[in-house]
Amino acid sequence: MSTKPEINREEAQKWVDSRAWANGWDAIADKSIDAVEFATQYELNKPLWDKLFKYLAETDPKTLQPGKIVLEEGRLWINVLEYTPKCAAETKTESHKDFIDLQYTYEGNEVMGLAHKVTPVTDYDPVKDRTFYAIEGDVDYTPATPDRFFLYFPADMHQPSVKGEGDAVTSRKLVGKIEYAK
C-alpha cells in the first residue's frame, strides 16, 4: 500500500498548469479537476498515467471504433463510446471507488456535471465499480469541448454525458479508467 504524498493546493495547481503530466497530449485539464487529487494520484501511479497520456497523444480518437482498449489488464483501459446524450433529468449521477474516470468528448454537444449534495439511490456495485445518486442541490455543468478533459475521483459525484444547449447530436467520447491508488 502506498503512502499518499502531502501536496498543497497551490503546488498542485502549478503542477497541473505546467502540463508536466501531458506526455504530448494537447487537451487541457478542466478547471473543475481536483488538482491535489490529480497530482497525488499521478505521483502514486505515474506509470499508468504516463501510459494513458502517451496513448492519447499518439492516437487520433476519430479513428477508433466503439469498444474497450486495454492498456494494462485490470488497471488501465479506455472505453470508446458513441451515443446521443440525454437531458440532465434522464442522466444518472455516479461515483466510483476503485477507478478514476478520465472523460474526453471529442465530438458532440454535451456538458459534464459535478454534483455537491446527493443521496445514494443504489448500493455500491463492486463489479461495475459504481454507486448512483439522486441530486439534492446544485450541479455545476461545464461544456465538454474537444480541447479539454475531465477527471472524476472517488469523492466526485459526477453526471457525465448530459445534452448541452441546442439539438441533441451524437457524441463520441473516450472514458479512461485508471486504477485509484488508495
pLDDT tens, residue by residue, 67-116: 999 999 999 999 999 999 999 999 999 999 999 999 999 999 999 999 99
Instruction: Give me the mean pLDDT over the 48-53 stretch.
Output: 98
pTM reported for the whole predicted model? 0.94
Return the pLDDT at 98: 98
Binned at pLDDT 50, 70 and 90, residue 7 comes out as confident
Share of the chain above pLDDT 90, in %: 94
Return the pLDDT at 6: 82
The per-residue pLDDT of the chain, averaged, comes to 96
- 3 state SS for the chain: CCCCCCCCHHHHHHHHHHCCCCCCCCCEECCCCCHHHHHHHHHHCHHHHHHHHHHHHHCCHHHCCCEEEEEECCCEEEEEEEECCECHHHCCEEECCCEEEEEEEEECCEEEEEECCEEECCCCECCCCEEEEEECCCEEEEECCCCEEEEECCCCEEEEEEECCCCCCCEEEEEEEEECCC
Residue with cell 440532465: 88
Cβ atoms of residues 54 and 24 within 8 Å? yes
Q: Which residues lie below 8 Å from residue 139, measured CB to CB, with a gap of 6+?
A: 88, 93, 113, 114, 115, 116, 159
